[in-house]
Each structure stands twice: as structure tokens, then as C-alpha cells.
Amino acid sequence: MQNSRDFEVSRRDLMVGAAASAAVAAAPSVAGAQTAADVPSLKVSFTVNGKIRDLELDTRTTLLDALREGLHLAGTKKGCDHGQCGACTVIVDGRRINSCLTLAVMHQGGSITTVEGLGTPQDLHPMQAAFVKHDGYQCGHCTPGQICSAVAVLGEIEAGIPSHVSADLTARPQATAAEFRERMSGNICRCGAYSNIVDAITEVAGRKA
Ligand code: FES
Ligand code: FES
């Protein structure tokens, strides 16, 4: 018959055995171990905010991480890191993109504009000034992405690119609040500054017109 002491011993043995098995399973095999030398890296050169920048990167580095960690341009924000919030929006070769969804090495020779490249604290871009004037932000986390997107949106309308709310796909789209809301729908603002953002864009669009 098993007494309680026997039970304690066998239980402890069981725990030690399980821990040892887990350690073996977690340890990389010597043959499969990855060293720093195995990580594929590549030189990439692109223009960021008007300056040529050279980086040597792990080929898996996103453009967002290259900007923030490689070039210390922390204006571009990391929200979701998988294409759902728009906080990481930058303008690449004239088009806005989510920089968390693209690899830096794909932009060799490209021209990238981040919020730092639009204006300076002393000389704000008209869109930056309008966001300030209309209180187009609260915490500010989404704001660099919103501003880059808004600048690109006006460019898209000017170029005649229609959106889902454009009534006539063959006519030049109008700079209306409905167009702005639709085109800015990929930029999420957790603080809900949406109506003020539309006011800011409307003001800049009016000035451009
Ligand atoms: Fe890129 Fe959210 S951080 S879309
Ligand atoms: Fe806070 Fe937009 S201002 S998330």
C-alpha cells in the first residue's frame, strides 16, 4: 500500500522530470542554432526628408523600425504594427503607405517623407498649422500619421484619383468633408478628434483651391 511519504517522493520526481523535458524541448539544437552572422543583412540607401541616408539592416526590418530605430525619427508612431491604425503613415515616392507593412530594403533609392520632413516647429507645414488651429488632436499619438495622410489626401484629390464616395468616377473628385472622411478612414484616432481633423483639412483644401 502507498503511504503519503511515497506519494511525496514520486510527485517530486514527476515534477523534476517534467521540468527537465521542458528544458530540453526549449533549448535550440546545436545544428539549428542561429548566430548573429546568420542573420541576413543588406545595405539600403534612400532619401529621407531630403537627405540621403544609408543603413545596414536585417532584411526583415520594417520601414517603420528603420525610421524610428535606425534613423531616430520617432515622429512616425507605432500603433498596432500590423496595418490597422495608420499611426505609422509616411509618404513614399508621393504615395502614403503604412510603414509597418513594408520592409525597408524594398525602398532602395526611394524618397520618404515623414512628419519631421513636412515642416519645422518654427515653420510649420500648412497642414500642421491647421491641426494646431483646429485642435485636431488630443494625446497626439495618431497625429503624425494623420498629418502625413491628410497631406497625401489633398494630393490624391488634386491628381483626380477617385474614392469610394466619389459619385462620378470620371469627374475630378471634390474636396468635400465626405471625401476627407472616406480617404482618412485608415487613420484611427482613439481620442476621437475626427471632426476637428476634417475642419483642419477643409481649411487647407480651401486655401489650396
Ligand atoms: Fe502601422 Fe498601425 S502601426 S498601421
Ligand atoms: Fe489621441 Fe488621435 S489624438 S489617438
Report how far ligand 1's centroid is from the alpha carbon of 98 (Å): 6
Lowest pLDDT segment from 26-30, 87-91, 167-171: 26-30
pLDDT of 86 above 50 = yes
Report how far ligand 2's centroid is from the alpha carbon of 146 (Å): 9
pLDDT of 70 above 50 = yes
Task: Based on the fold, state whether residues 138 and 198 are members of the same structural domain.
Answer: yes
Task: Based on the fold, state whether residues 74 and 131 are members of the same structural domain.
Answer: no
pLDDT, one tens digit per residue, over 133-188 is 999 999 999 999 999 999 999 999 999 999 999 988 889 999 999 999 999 999 99
Model's pTM, two decimal places? 0.82
**Does 175 fall in a domain?**
yes
Ligand located closest to 193 CA: 2
Cα angle for residues 98, 102, 108 (degrees, 5° grid): 115
99: closest CA among 40, 53, 151, 144?
144
Query: What cell does 36 get?
Result: 548573429
| Whole-number CA gyration radius for the chain | 25
Q: Decide whether any atom of ligand 2 lies within 6 Å of the 48 Cβ.
A: no
Q: Decide whether any atom of ligand 2 lies within 6 Å of the 193 Cβ.
A: yes
Q: Decide whether any atom of ligand 2 lies within 6 Å of the 191 Cβ.
A: yes
Domain ends where: 117, 150, 182?
Answer: 117
Q: What is the pLDDT of residue 39?
A: 82
Q: For residue 66, what are the domain limits?
A: 39-117
CATH number at residue 159: 1.10.150.120
Query: Average pLDDT of the chain?
Result: 88
Q: Count of alpha carbons within 13 Å of 39, Cβ hemisphere only? A: 9
